[in-house]
Amino acid sequence: MRKWRNEPMLPHHVELCQRVFDAAKVARNITPDSDANDPVAALVLTLYRHGVWEEDELLRRVLGALDENS
């Protein structure tokens, strides 16, 4: 991973993270009212801020982390 990205998130950054968050929820059957939503969102943002900026790679790492924590 790259160095922590301490810059404002632009709309296209937010959109990418939202797509990954939505895809992770679908892939792991996480419902909108689930307590798992906040940790998944935090994971997406943390990985993104640490330099995982490619959408496919970000989703792969999020899903991998979710599997490890199951």
Residue 33 has pLDDT above 60, yes or no: yes
By residue count, the chain amounts to: 70
Domain spans of the chain?
11-68
59-to-25, 28, 42, 64 alpha-carbon distances in Å = 11, 12, 13, 8
Q: For residue 59, name the pLDDT band (cuts at 50, 70, 90).
A: very high
Residue 1 has pLDDT above 70, yes or no: no
* pTM (2 d.p.): 0.88
**Amino acid 13: pLDDT:** 94
